[in-house]
Every structure is written in structure tokens, then in C-alpha cells.
Amino acid sequence: MHEHGLSLEAIYQARRRIADEAVRTPLVRSMALSTRFDADIRLKLETCQPTGAFKLRGAANMLAALIEARGREALAAGVVTASTGNHGRAVAYAAARLEVPAVICLSRLVPTNKVAAIEALGAEVRRIGASQDEAFAEVERLVRERGMILIPPFDDPRVVAGQGTIGLELMEDCPDLDRVIVGLSGGGLLGGIGAAVKAIRPACRVTGVSLTRGAAMWESLKAGHPVAVEEVESLADSLGGGIGCDNRCTFALVRKVMDDHVQVSERAIAEAMVELLENEKQLVEGAAAVGLAAMQEHGLDVRGQRVALILSGNAVSLETLDRARVMAGY
């Protein structure tokens, strides 16, 4: 194993497994942001994935790894997960490609546009409770009673390795990267990217960005162990949800690979969403805008640095975009 708990070999294996499912996404230089921050600012466009978000990498890797290890018949009863939306869509997509039944359990906080996208892929959607943790109770029942296979949204090494393939691409496209700024919720994205980047270029700084309210990983890191928090509505709904009080993988990994950690306000997220659309022509959800939000709200000093912002997904409704525009004063 790699010193940070996830081997580089596992991430390379993930890349091989998902080659036909997930795409290698562009890393594009933003002239406007580079000029404004006196730095080389790159945008990693995970919005270009077939499902519109990075989550496809982890879901596809875990499904492929299960089939590799146990055969296709292991998935005969189907797969199940709980999600804030993007992971559910990724599981539904990957399962449909394999002709495997899928049930996606979502809380009432998941926006209707994300629910519709999952249903369009042929998965069964169940709306359960007011948090991802409550939705997970239904997942556990289906695993227990119907023998379905859980595809966790983040807390599994195979899922994290899939997300880590982003880190490989960053290092290949910008080998002298100084800093990567990543949205942080359950820790699968940051943990995977951080493990890959630190293994290849230890000097590269990994910055995590959390919400100011309902940020389970922030509170857990502060407490020194996983804790539960109340989930609240946010423009960055993908960053909601708990990390699981029995977290086995991502809590420890995030602690090891993350160099610094900031929280961003709803207004800062709104302003970043609008700016990315106006100036970069990138339509992104709130969780994808938090890197820019952190740079603007906290005045992060990146002068002279090569910096990558992870634009993690594009599942934003017009209603949410309008709310962001109003909040940002447009």
C-alpha cells in the first residue's frame, strides 16, 4: 500500500478498468483567472463526463472490480446506493451499460433535476428521509433482504481509486502543478486525487473546500473522529451528507493527503457559479464552483503558482442557477 492508504498501482488499475466508461477530461487554462490571480489557473472539466460529473469514475471502477473478482453473477440481484445525486446517476449509468438492475435511494433534499436524470437511465429511485444517512437505512435493508450489492458513494478503496484517476491526468497534463483545489464532502474525490498527486509530486499542495454549514468532514476532522451533522440545503448540494460514523477509508485518507482546508459561504459559491458561466462559459453546479469561491472569499495567495480547480459536475437546474444569480447580485 502507498503511505497514504491508497496505492498508486490501484489507481492505475482503475484507469485501465474504466477506460471504456469514463472519458479523459480536458485541463484548460483560464486566461481571465490567470491574469486576475497572477498565476497559471487551470480548470479540470469533469463536467465532460457522460453523466456530467466525476462520480462515474468511482462507480465504474467498483462495478468492474466486482466483476473481475467475483464474476458477473455476483451482481445478479442488482446494485444499490444512496446519493446526493451525482453518484446515483453514475451508478445508474454504469449498471445500465452492464444490464444490471439498480436502486438509488435519495433524500428529499436531492433536487428534482438530479432525480429525473437517474430515472431516465432506467434505475429505480426511492426517496427516503431528510438526509443521506436516512436514505442509507433503506440501502442496508435492500442489501440484507434482497442480496443487492452496495456501491458506496465514497467510502470504499475501489471508488476512491476511480476518483484518483483524475490525479493521474492532472500530473500528466501539468507535471509541475503547485496546487489543486478540491471540493470536500465524503472525501472520495479529494482523497483519490490527493493520493495520486502526492505519490507523484509530493510538493503539490492539496486544498480542500467545504461548506460553512452541514460540513461533516470539517466537523469530523475538528473532532478527530467521524461525527454526524445535520444536513442543510445548499447551492452546493453535492457537498451535503455525512461521512458515516463507521467511516473506514476516506476520513483517514483525507487527513493524510490534505494540506489545508477552508469553508465557503453560500454567497461566495453563488458568485463563483455566475462567474464561471459568465466568463468561462462553464455551466457548473455549486460543488464544482467551490474552488474559485475559496480563492475569492479567502484571498488565497497563488501568485506565480500553477493551480488546478476541479469543476466536478454540471447537474444544476435553471431554478438553482436563478437562485445563485440573485444571491450574487445579478
Same domain as 146, residue 68: yes
- The per-residue pLDDT for 5 is 67
pLDDT at 1 over 50: no
CA dist., res. 312 & res. 55, Å (int): 8
**Residue 235 · residue 323 · CB < 8 Å:** yes
Same domain as 311, residue 293: yes
Note the pLDDT tens digit of each residue in 141-169. Answer: 999 999 999 999 999 999 999 999 999 99
Average pLDDT on 303-315 reads 97
Set of cell numbers at residue 307: 493551480
**Residue 78 · residue 100 · CB < 8 Å:** yes
For the beta carbon of residue 16, count every other beta carbon within 10 angstroms. Answer: 10
Average pLDDT on 230-245 reads 87
Banded model confidence at residue 290, pLDDT cuts 50, 70, 90: very high
pLDDT at 126 over 60: yes
Pick from 321, 307, 313, 314: which is nearest to 43 by CA?
307
Same domain as 160, residue 50: yes
pLDDT at 106 over 80: yes
Please report, rounded to a whole number, the percentage of residues in the chain having pLDDT higher than 70.
98
Same domain as 68, residue 34: no
Banded model confidence at residue 2, pLDDT cuts 50, 70, 90: very low
- In this structure, is residue 2 part of a structural domain? no
Same domain as 59, residue 120: yes
Average pLDDT on 309-330 reads 93
Q: Transcribe 207-242 into DSSP letters.
A: EEEEESSS-HHHHHHHHTS---------TTGGG-S-
Burial (CB count <10 Å: 0-12, 13-18, 19+), residue 35: exposed
Domain boundary among 150, 166, 192: 150
Active-site residue, from 30, 44, 55, 107: 55
- The per-residue pLDDT for 122 is 94
Edge-to-edge strands, sheet with 149-150: 124-127, 102-106, 79-83, 149-150
Domain boundary among 150, 180, 209: 150
- In this structure, is residue 29 part of a structural domain? yes
Residue that wins the pLDDT comparison between 317 and 42: 42
- In this structure, is residue 98 part of a structural domain? yes
| E strand or H helix that includes residue 320 | helix 318-327
**Residue 97 · residue 21 · CB < 8 Å:** yes
- Exposure class string for 68-96: b at 16+ Cβ within 10 A, else e: eeeeeeebeebbbbbbbbbbbbbbbbbbe
166 is in which domain, residue-wise? 8-54+156-327
Same domain as 73, residue 18: no
Same domain as 167, residue 292: yes
| E strand or H helix that includes residue 82 | strand 79-83
Same domain as 191, residue 119: no
Distances (CA, A) of 100 to 20, 46, 77, 93: 17, 25, 8, 10
Same domain as 237, residue 202: yes
CA dist., res. 36 & res. 28, Å (int): 16
- The per-residue pLDDT for 108 is 85
Note the pLDDT tens digit of each residue in 47-91. Answer: 999 999 999 999 999 999 999 999 999 899 999 999 878 999 999
- In this structure, is residue 1 part of a structural domain? no
- Exposure class string for 134-161: b at 16+ Cβ within 10 A, else e: bbbebbeebeeeeebbbbbbbbbbbbbb
Residue type, 209: V
pTM recorded for the entire structure: 0.95
**Residue 271 · residue 142 · CB < 8 Å:** no
Average pLDDT on 95-108 reads 93
Work out the mean pLDDT of the chain and round it to a whole number: 94
User: Based on the structure, what is the number of domains in the chain?
Assistant: 2
Domain boundary among 134, 150, 166: 150
Note the pLDDT tens digit of each residue in 159-210. Answer: 999 999 999 999 999 999 999 999 999 999 999 999 999 999 999 999 999 9
CA dist., res. 78 & res. 205, Å (int): 40
Banded model confidence at residue 121, pLDDT cuts 50, 70, 90: very high
Active-site residue, from 185, 220, 234, 312: 312
Task: Read off the CATH number of the domain in which 284 is found.
Answer: 3.40.50.1100
- The per-residue pLDDT for 130 is 83
pLDDT at 3 over 60: no
- In this structure, is residue 282 part of a structural domain? yes
Same domain as 174, residue 135: no
- In this structure, is residue 116 part of a structural domain? yes
Same domain as 250, residue 146: no
Set of cell numbers at residue 61: 471502477
pLDDT at 134 over 90: no
For the CA atoms of 170, 171, 177, 181, the dihedral, rounded to the nearest 10 degrees, stands at 40
- In this structure, is residue 3 part of a structural domain? no
Same domain as 49, residue 59: no
Pick from 190, 147, 181: which is nearest to 58 by CA?
190
Decide if 55 is catalytic. yes
Report CA 292 to chain centroid distance, whole Å. Answer: 16
- The per-residue pLDDT for 114 is 87
